[in-house]
Amino acid sequence: MSREDRIIGGGESTNLLTGRLVKPFSVKDLPAWPGMAAVMGPGIIWAGLSQGSGELIWWPYMVAKYGVIFLGWLFIFAFLQYWYNQEIGRYTVATGEGIISGLFRAHAVVGWITLAVAILIYSWVGGYAGASASALHGILHWPPWDAKNAQRFWAVIIMFTTWLIIVLGPVAYRVIEVIESLAAFASFIGMLIVAVLTPDVAAYAGQYFAGFGQFAWPPFPNWDPGDAGIWVTLIAYTGAGGIWNLGYSYWIRDKGFAMSAHIGRVTSPLTGEPEAIPSVGVAFEDTPDNRDKWKRWVNWLWTDNLIGVLLNTLTIVLTSILTFSLLYPRGIKIPKGWSLVVEQGKWFEALFGEAGRIAMLVLGFFFLFDVFIVAGDLYSRFIADASYTVMSGEVKDAGKTWLTLFIGLGIIVVGGPLVADVLQGTKFTVDYWIGILILAVYLFAVTGVLAFSAVNNWPYTRIYYAIFSIFTVMGIVQVFFKSPGGLILLTGITNMFIMAFLCTVLLYLSWFYLPSVHPAGEIVRPSWIHFIILLLITLTFWAITGWFIGLKLGLL
């Protein structure tokens, strides 16, 4: 058996229900680290994505409402995501595969649970486009319709434009890199400038920074039990959050980190040059030269990851100090969601005139516009990974596969929100059932692509652009209907659960399974100090998840 034909997992057979993915890696040399300029980018993309609802809305909301008595947790929560990111990236650096493939190699059940959660979370992510549309309408005051329809108009324009950008951009990764880099730096620099120019920030800076020594845990004084879900969401989104962190794997892959340099990128069928994307990963052998190169790549992975986490954490400092300085001292009722940004805009207007209000809305637009396009990119990669690497060659009957996927994933994707809504006594209006129907049709389309692309051996790029198109259509349709309430409420706690779940899996994948099947063996295993740190982080995520469930069940 040649080294290119080596089968991982001791010759087992792939089993997509009760086993694991065991397709062989090919074996090639580890590329040399090409220098910082050539590989800078994925960490900044991660920061740009992370600067969404947690940074713009939930950290500011909690600080404005309860002050800084819990602010010491900020750097700790960010630290938790740093180690989570590192192990996600490590798998791709070692194999060139996307992390979804790695999860299926750990076990098929892990892969399917992760894929179901991704479908659940990304189903109604068009709300981010809706919020950015609200900002755009607030800036332009056009078209001259009522606010609801004007926002729908801009939401549709935004989503259709993002679809065009992705389809016409020669390389999908480059499109994401440019947009997210602009969003990351525009958000950070914009908030920095506003903070420096706002007199209230200087007046309350001492009180704010003193909060970094305080570690209060809910319930706080004047605690609202309804904020428990927001608290968990805040923790999950001190960074990308949960399922979103998995995107780091695909960005370093298309950037060409380590073994990913042997994997082609997603390129436009209209403007790009096709690049070869193998259906499985590429591993390296244990040689002195590869050992030296591996250390250099892992050191850069730590650095790139740190750039993203620090940039995002500093952005949270800026958004929360602004909100604390402007809203907390005045004792006003703090609105939730996008209304918080509007409220801040009023104070900026009082300080700086119309220019201040517009500046806040522009910042809000940058924080949220990019989330929709990145969600579509990640979601399309997850599905393409599952079809192209995991299912291709393993399933033969498209109809049976489609039905199995639709029923199995539907139990989680549609059943989860329904159960949540029943438990909280939601009023089941006509709009609600239309939303559930849209969700079911969406799932039907996605599982259809999964099944037929796998059976008919579609190329990776065709799957990617097909899913991105379905994702865009779903986003446009949902603008006109109310989303299932349970789905929205489940998002934060679901991302907390998936971080606990996937950290547990990564402990197994990085320290036990991958070293046992990778040609380089022990070289790709992290140190046991890293294992202990990630174990403690994993237990922390599980404890927070258990705390929230205990609150909801009345046990705490």
Distance CA 191, CA 195 (A): 6
Residue 198 is assigned to a structural domain of this protein: yes
Structure confidence at residue 417 (pLDDT)? 78
Residue 17 is assigned to a structural domain of this protein: no
Q: Give the three-state DSSP class for 95.
A: helix
DSSP letter string over 178-201?
HHHHHHHHHHHHHHHHHHHH-HHH
Tokens, residue 408 = 């199995």
Q: What is the enclosing helix (H) or strand (E) of 283?
A: strand 282-283
Write phi, then psi, for 323 (nearest 5 degrees): -65, -40
| CATH number of 94's domain | 1.20.1740
Residue 18 is assigned to a structural domain of this protein: no
Domain span at 491: 25-552
Structure confidence at residue 53 (pLDDT)? 67
Write phi, then psi, for 267 (nearest 5 degrees): -125, 150
Residue 9 is assigned to a structural domain of this protein: no
What pTM does this model have? 0.93
Distance CA 454, CA 104 (A): 15
pLDDT in tens, the chain (556 residues): 232 333 333 345 678 888 999 998 999 999 999 999 999 999 999 998 888 766 788 899 999 999 999 999 999 999 999 999 999 999 999 999 999 999 999 999 999 999 999 998 888 777 778 888 888 888 898 999 998 899 999 999 999 999 999 999 999 999 999 999 998 888 899 889 989 988 999 999 999 999 999 999 999 999 999 899 889 989 998 998 889 999 999 999 999 999 999 999 999 999 999 999 999 999 999 999 999 999 999 999 999 999 999 999 999 999 999 989 988 988 777 777 767 777 777 777 877 888 888 888 888 887 777 888 999 999 999 999 999 999 998 999 999 999 999 999 999 888 877 877 776 677 788 888 888 888 899 999 999 999 999 999 999 999 999 999 999 999 999 888 766 555 555 677 788 999 999 999 999 999 999 999 999 999 999 999 999 999 999 999 999 999 988 887 788 7
Structure confidence at residue 483 (pLDDT)? 63
> Number of structural domains, the chain?
1
Residue 127 is assigned to a structural domain of this protein: yes
Structure confidence at residue 547 (pLDDT)? 94
Compute CA distances 502 → 62, 286, 508, 532, whole Å: 27, 28, 10, 16
Residue 455 is assigned to a structural domain of this protein: yes
Long-range contacts (CB closer than 8 Å, 24 or more residues apart) made by 534-539:
534/83, 534/84, 534/87, 534/503, 534/506, 534/507, 535/507, 537/80, 537/83, 537/84, 537/503, 538/500, 538/503, 538/504, 538/507
Express each pLDDT in 24-62 by its tens digit: 899 999 999 999 999 999 999 999 888 876 678 889 999
Distance CA 102, CA 107 (A): 9
Closest-CA residue to 318 (of 405, 190, 221):
190
Query: For residue 392, which amino acid is it?
Result: S
Tell me if 390 sits within 8 A of 111, measured CB to CB.
Answer: yes
Residue 6 is assigned to a structural domain of this protein: no
Residue 1 is assigned to a structural domain of this protein: no
Structure confidence at residue 207 (pLDDT)? 96
